[in-house]
Amino acid sequence: MIVPSSCLLCDRANESRSHLFFDCLVYAEVWTSFFTHPTLHPPHSFDGILTWVLTASPHPKVKFICKLLLQAVCYVLWRERNLRLHNSTSRSAHLLIKEIQVIMKAKLIGMDRIPVQPTQRSQSFQESHLVTWFTYFQP
Ligand SMILES: [Zn+2]
């Protein structure tokens, strides 16, 4: 199978792990669109982001959502890259962002349906995952 060496998302650099995930212009547009809240400042490198998501926020649900969001962004961008390779179709960053929003909201609604343990009834656990999402990531 012949795979082009240049990035299938932006066509501005050779494709590599660090380019696709965190250096690519399409990745950057998608990823940074979720980080407009003044308390969230993810770094711009592969290793930096992997470390950052572990301590992204003192708020447990924000930290959880950051981890989930990283997975959703990587999944959607990798799938988009493969669709461009195999099907010659392409979607805009705007559509990729919309898809990630749908994925995240569906997952967070499911998380909010899980009964809360008595030990988790502190203030930081009372706000739903979905409210946290709309407060921090999709205002
Ligand atoms: Zn690229």
24 C-alpha vs ligand 1 centroid, how far in Å? 4
Which pLDDT score, from 0 to 100, does residue 44 have?
83
* Percent of the chain as helix, strand, coil, to the nearest 5: 60, 0, 35
Percent of the chain with pLDDT over 90: 78
* CB-proximal residues (5 Å) to ion ligand 1: 7, 9-10, 24
124 C-alpha vs ligand 1 centroid, how far in Å? 38
pLDDT, tens digit, 9 for 90 and up, residues 10-32: 999 999 988 998 899 999 999 99
Please enumerate in sequence order all residues whose Cβ is within 8 A of that of 32, keeping only pairs 6 or more positions apart, or say none. Answer: none
49 C-alpha vs ligand 1 centroid, how far in Å? 17
Say yes or no to pLDDT of 3 above 90: no
pLDDT, tens digit, 9 for 90 and up, residues 94-134: 999 999 999 999 999 999 998 877 666 555 557 899 999 99
d(CA 87, CA 78): 14
126 C-alpha vs ligand 1 centroid, how far in Å? 40
